[in-house]
Amino acid sequence: MNAMFSGCSSLKEINLSHFNTQNVTNMKAMFSGCSSLIEINLSNFNTQNIINMGCMFSGCSSLKDIKFSNFNTQNVTNIKGMFERCSSLKDINLSNFNTQNITNMGCMFYGCSSLKEINLSNFNTQNVINMGFMFYECSSLKDINLSNFNTQNVMNMGFMFYGCSSLKDINLSNFNTQNVIDMSCMFYGCSSLKDINLSNFNTQNVTNMKGMFYECSSLIKNNIITDNKKL
């Protein structure tokens, strides 16, 4: 089902209630570019064998409601750009998502500019390598709890919170950054961020920190310790 409805920009509604998807393995970009689609009900979808959901709803800029409470994501490895540019989406329930085998979460919420809150408390990120651009320009996001995130294998955090201009506080005290190479523009444009403690960050393998705190104009306190020296 790769790119099945991709680019159907005039499609306003779709009934998939009779779809039998038990043998499907790929739903990458399935609804990508369906920019007129306002809501979609996938509650009947059997996704137990799906491996790839990358860019599944990418560019669904009018989408306000997605029903996928029955999604089984236990075998999915890629959700890169899954909700990229879903700019009308204000809320999304991912409480049923099993992310134990996910390796790529890059750009997952890229450009979700109306998203005000998101609960990722059940996310298992132990195998994730890429978190680059994950919350890029989520400009309405005021709070996010990532205390359960296991980042031991993550190599890319570049642009992760870029443009999160409403974010006032973020707790990354549990982040393990021992394998991270790229932190470029990680907090670029987080203009409401006042306090951030990165004292536990291990930057021994980081090669790129370009623009990491650029335009963090409200930042009052930044606790960074590098090589046992507080900066």
Pairing of strands 195-197, 39-41: unpaired
The answer to whether residues 198 and 107 belong to one domain is: yes
**Is residue 208 included in any domain, yes or no?**
yes
* pLDDT score of 48: 96
* pLDDT score of 221: 62
Residue 44: which domain range? 1-78
CA distance 64 to 226: 43
The answer to whether residues 210 and 114 belong to one domain is: yes
Check: CB of residue 126 under 8 Å from CB of residue 150: yes
**Is residue 95 included in any domain, yes or no?**
no
The answer to whether residues 73 and 110 belong to one domain is: no
CA distance 45 to 68: 8
**Is residue 96 included in any domain, yes or no?**
no
**Is residue 98 included in any domain, yes or no?**
no
**Is residue 94 included in any domain, yes or no?**
no
**Is residue 230 included in any domain, yes or no?**
yes
Q: Tell me the mean pLDDT per 10 residues along the chain, length 231.
A: 98 94 97 97 95 98 93 96 97 92 98 94 96 98 92 98 95 94 97 89 96 93 49 38
The answer to whether residues 59 and 144 belong to one domain is: no
Last residue of a domain, one of 16, 45, 78: 78
The answer to whether residues 73 and 108 belong to one domain is: no
CA distance 116 to 165: 12
* pLDDT score of 222: 61
**Is residue 91 included in any domain, yes or no?**
no
Count how many domains the chain has: 2
Check: CB of residue 111 under 8 Å from CB of residue 85: yes
The answer to whether residues 183 and 73 belong to one domain is: no
The answer to whether residues 55 and 127 belong to one domain is: no
For residue 171, give every residue at least 6 positions away whose Cβ sits within 8 Å of its Cβ, in sequence order, or none. 145, 146, 147, 197
Q: What is the dihedral of CA 74, 62, 67, 58, to 10 degrees?
A: -10
Question: What are the residues facing 41 on neighbouring strands?
Answer: 67
CA-based nearest residue to 155, from 134, 174, 172, 131:
131
The answer to whether residues 41 and 123 belong to one domain is: no
**Is residue 127 included in any domain, yes or no?**
yes
Q: In the chain, what's the furthest Cα-to-Cα distance?
A: 62
Last residue of a domain, one of 78, 94, 117: 78
The answer to whether residues 113 and 207 belong to one domain is: yes
The answer to whether residues 60 and 119 belong to one domain is: no
* pLDDT score of 46: 96
* pLDDT score of 108: 98
